Structure 1
Amino acid sequence: MTTLMFVLGILIFVVGLLFSIAWHELGHLSTAKMFGIRVPQYMVGFGPTLWSRRRGETEYGIKAIPLGGYIRMIGMFPPGDDGRIRQRSTSPFRGMIEDARAAAYEELRPGDEKRLFYTRKPWKRIIVMAAGPGMNLILAVAIFLGVLMSFGINQTTTTVAQVAECVVPQSEQRDECRAGDPAAPAAEAGLKAGDTIVAFNGEPVTGWSELQNAIRDTTGPARVTVERDGTTVDLYPTLIENQVAKLDDDGYVEGEFVTAGFLGFTPAGGIVKQDFPQAVSYMGDIMVSGLDALIGLPGKIPGLWDAALGNGEREADSPVGVVGAARVGGEVFTLDIPASQQVATFLFMLAAFNLSLFLFNMLPLLPLDGGHIAGALWESARRNVARALRRPDPGPFDVAKLMPVAYVVAGIFICFTLLVLAADIVSPVRLAG
């Protein structure tokens, strides 16, 4: 049964991956058609075509390798400086440029002269290229909000899991009480496991972070209101100072210790549904973390190399590719958790994948969408400057001239993808263990 669920999870992930890719390319397709650009092909995947159908002027299809997708637009690059599509050249770099330019016109038909991508105004080209990543962002936001507000997430709550018997400085890292240790204020006041703290000193509390800060800021007598067996009970502990772990602005332990108010209990964890403001705030934190992870990607290469080709262990926050993500998707459905949480975890993973697609594709590098956006922005800027200075229009920016750089960038991406693939096979990231 476990094997069946593992395989089912992989298949569902592949379907989610294909949908995300198709959704991305739909953004490009719909906006290109909206601006009158001819699109001969809309494909999900690369390699040999498994299935295709022509509808109107566009061929829609699925290819064998589900590692991406594309739409083919006519006239992605302008003609050369002499107005020609291809020139003869013995330079390998010039050959790259002219090959890319020729490919952009290979399906040119009579009447397409006014339907070329490069002839559209820069702002229209920006919309077309940004629409793909934008669709991934929309999908990620929708899934994140849906999961956070419908299923909830595992959070520390204001419910009491355990009450400490005595006061032990956290810096001593011990659990047992010793002679001379003062009794914990929570135990003296009668706080019990299972109580849910709903107010502190008369102020309602809705989350653990809020309660934790209130406790740390208080020494001396306090009033703690709890729900116990369906009734509300007021307790009156006298909080004392203690050495506790220092927290950063996001509530994470920094590794140092500070003197703060101390009550003396361990909060319980649980699945908590988020309201809209909480969900938006949590989603914002995820996006910041995703951006930080993208910036820190080069620093992960040595660890990936050791995990794939050496004896190093795979780090938990190591980048994963399609194979690794599919494996994790399979593991989600084998976890010993309620089915609703399996679904929520899988959806969260799919949302994170779409967020990664958005961030990655917006990098201002060819051949990524962000590279074409950067080219259109540069063209708009120099045309506006020329107009302001009453100089001749410099014309469209020839992005094709950057194709040698694009090939280098693509080569780096391919090498990184192969390294991640090797690490996913040799030393995969796992949800447990």
Structure 2
Amino acid sequence: MTTLMMILGVVIFAVGLLFSIAWHELGHLSTAKLFGIRVPQYMVGFGPTVFSRKKGETEYGVKAIPLGGYIRMIGMFPPGADGRIESRSTSPFRSMVEDARAAAFEELQPGDETRLFYTRKPWKRVIVMFAGPFMNLILAIGLFLTVLMGFGVTQQTNVVSSVSSCVIQASAHRDSCKASDPQSPAKAAGLQPKDKIVSFNGVATDEWNALSDEIRKSAGDTVPIVVQRDGQQQTLTAKIATNQVPKKDASGQITDGYVNAGFLGFTAATGVVRQDFGSSVTWMSDRVGDAVDSIIALPAKIPALWDAAFGDGPREQDSPMGVVGAARVGGEIFTMDIPATQQLAMALMLVAGFNLSLFLFNMLPLLPLDGGHIAGALWEALRRNLAKVFRRPDPGPFDVAKLMPVAYVVAGVFVCFTILVLIADVVNPVKIS
């Protein structure tokens, strides 16, 4: 049964992955057709074609390797300075440029002169290239909102799980009390497991972070605490101690380090809580910030990733993870001893996170990513507008093909990184349980 559920999780993630890729390319396809650019191919995957069908002027199909997708647009790059589409050079770098330029004019047909990508105004090209990542962002937002507002997320609540017997500094890293440890305020006040804290020091709240903040800023104060116990409300009184507790960031998440703050002395129970729209937006903005930080930190994580793949180093929980690793996590989710609704919610979160990463990654201003083409179109617009201001001749289209040697280097780095992550995902995978 466990193996079957593991396979089910992998299949669900694979379907989500393929849909995400197809959805991304649909953004490029729809906007390209909107602006009259001819698109001979729309493909999900790479390698040999498994299935295809031509409808109108576009061939739609699925290829064997589901690690990406593409649409083929006519005239991605302008002709060379001599106006010729094809030429050859003994320079390997020049050949890269010319090969890319020649590929941009494959399947050129009579009448396509007015339907070339590079002939469209820069703002139209920006829309076409941005539409793909934007579709991933829309899908991520939709899935996040579905989970946050529909299923709910597991978080700490205002219900008491356990009461500490004494006051222990967080940096002590121990659970047992010593004779010299003072009694905790929660114990002295008579707080009990399963009590639900309704208000603290006159502030009514049903949200854990707000309650935690109130406790932390009440060090040394004697405060009333209203709890709901066995269906009835009771008022307890506690003198809040000052203790060393873990730091929290702006979003309420525990972070590295400690601070001296108010301490009541109980462990909050966790539960599945549906979020309102405002809380969902805040949660998603925090995740975007986390994702941006992760992309910036990628180079610094490569040594540890290498050690995890080829050495005896541990695989960190925040280690970069590829498609294979994500599929494995997707399978592991469905083997966890949690309700089926939460299994589905976690799987949707995984696909949503994948789409958010696709959006941010593709927006990097590097060829061959979408962001590289966007940067090229914006640079062209800037050059042409400056030429108008200074009454200079129109410089013409910016030749993005000249950056292809850089694109090959970037692509080579991405391929090497992908292989390293793949090896790590196989020999030392990230585990969530």
> Normalising TM by the smaller chain, what interval?
over 0.9
Aligned to 1:23: 23
* AA matched with 2:186: A
Aligned to 1:67: 67
Spell out the pairing of 1:207-286 with structure 2 (5 A cutoff).
207-218=207-218, 219-286=220-287
- The Cα of 1:62 is off from its aligned counterpart by 0.3
State the distance in 2 between where 1:324 and 1:256 align.
31
Alpha-carbon contact 2:154-2:271 (below 8 Å) kept: yes
Structure 1 246/60 Cα, relative in aligned 2: closer, same or farther at 3 Å?
closer
- The Cα of 1:266 is off from its aligned counterpart by 1.4
User: Is it true that 1:413 corresponds to 2:411 in the alignment?
Assistant: no
State the distance in 1 between where 2:49 and 2:90 align.
33
Aligned to 1:182: 182
- The Cα of 1:172 is off from its aligned counterpart by 3.7
State the distance in 2 between where 1:254 and 1:20 align.
32
> SS of the residue aligned with 2:240?
strand
Aligned to 1:167: 167
- The Cα of 1:240 is off from its aligned counterpart by 2.9
State the distance in 1 between where 2:116 and 2:417 align.
34
- The Cα of 1:90 is off from its aligned counterpart by 1.1
Structure 1: state its 5+ residue gaps: none
> SS of the residue aligned with 1:223?
strand
Aligned to 1:108: 108
User: Is it true that 1:394 corresponds to 2:395 in the alignment?
Assistant: yes
* AA matched with 1:323: V
Spell out the pairing of 1:293-308 with structure 2 (5 A cutoff).
293-308=294-309
- The Cα of 1:256 is off from its aligned counterpart by 4.1
Post-superposition Cα deviations, 1:45-85, rounded to whole Å, max 9, x if no partner, equal 00110000011000000000001000000000111111111
Post-superposition Cα deviations, 1:64-115, rounded to whole Å, max 9, x if no partner, equal 0001000000000111111111223111111111111111111111111100
> SS of the residue aligned with 2:52?
strand
Aligned to 2:124: 124
* AA matched with 1:19: F
State the distance in 1 between where 2:359 and 2:119 align.
26
User: Is it true that 1:3 corresponds to 2:3 in the alignment?
Assistant: yes
Aligned to 2:192: 192
Aligned to 2:356: 355
State the distance in 2 between where 1:224 and 1:137 align.
43
* AA matched with 2:324: V
Aligned to 1:47: 47
Structure 1 51/258 Cα, relative in aligned 2: closer, same or farther at 3 Å?
closer
Post-superposition Cα deviations, 1:239-262, rounded to whole Å, max 9, x if no partner, equal 233333343434344554433222
Spell out the pairing of 1:334-349 with structure 2 (5 A cutoff).
334-349=335-350
- The Cα of 1:208 is off from its aligned counterpart by 1.4
* Equivalenced residues, count: 432
Post-superposition Cα deviations, 1:204-230, rounded to whole Å, max 9, x if no partner, equal 113111111111211222111112222
> SS of the residue aligned with 2:59?
strand
Structure 1 99/172 Cα, relative in aligned 2: closer, same or farther at 3 Å?
closer
State the distance in 1 between where 2:238 and 2:37 align.
71
Q: Which moved more, 1:60-69 or 1:305-314?
A: 305-314
Aligned to 1:332: 333
State the distance in 2 between where 1:258 and 1:320 align.
33
State the distance in 2 between where 1:397 and 1:153 align.
48
User: Is it true that 1:429 corresponds to 2:430 in the alignment?
Assistant: yes
State the distance in 1 between where 2:85 and 2:34 align.
26
* AA matched with 1:170: A
Q: TM-score, normalized by length of structure 2?
A: 0.97
Structure 2: state its 5+ residue gaps: none
RMSD, aligned α-carbons: 1.4
Post-superposition Cα deviations, 1:256-312, rounded to whole Å, max 9, x if no partner, equal 443322222111111111111111101111111111111111112112212222222
* AA matched with 1:70: Y
> SS of the residue aligned with 2:337?
coil
Structure 1 285/89 Cα, relative in aligned 2: closer, same or farther at 3 Å?
same
Structure 1 386/153 Cα, relative in aligned 2: closer, same or farther at 3 Å?
same
State the distance in 2 between where 1:418 and 1:393 align.
44
* AA matched with 1:144: F
State the distance in 2 between where 1:354 and 1:65 align.
18
State the distance in 2 between where 1:349 and 1:250 align.
21
> SS of the residue aligned with 1:236?
strand
Aligned to 1:203: 203
Aligned to 2:92: 92
- The Cα of 1:416 is off from its aligned counterpart by 0.9
Structure 1 124/191 Cα, relative in aligned 2: closer, same or farther at 3 Å?
same
Q: Which moved more, 1:249-258 or 1:112-121?
A: 249-258
Structure 1 91/179 Cα, relative in aligned 2: closer, same or farther at 3 Å?
closer
Alpha-carbon contact 2:251-2:286 (below 8 Å) kept: no
Structure 1 94/145 Cα, relative in aligned 2: closer, same or farther at 3 Å?
same
Post-superposition Cα deviations, 1:175-232, rounded to whole Å, max 9, x if no partner, equal 3334354332222222111011121122111311111111121122211111222222
Aligned to 1:79: 79
> SS of the residue aligned with 1:341?
helix
- The Cα of 1:430 is off from its aligned counterpart by 1.6
- The Cα of 1:360 is off from its aligned counterpart by 0.7
Structure 1 421/178 Cα, relative in aligned 2: closer, same or farther at 3 Å?
closer
Q: Which moved more, 1:49-58 or 1:413-422?
A: 413-422
Q: Which moved more, 1:318-327 or 1:184-193?
A: 184-193
Structure 1 254/28 Cα, relative in aligned 2: closer, same or farther at 3 Å?
closer
Q: Which moved more, 1:156-165 or 1:394-403?
A: 156-165
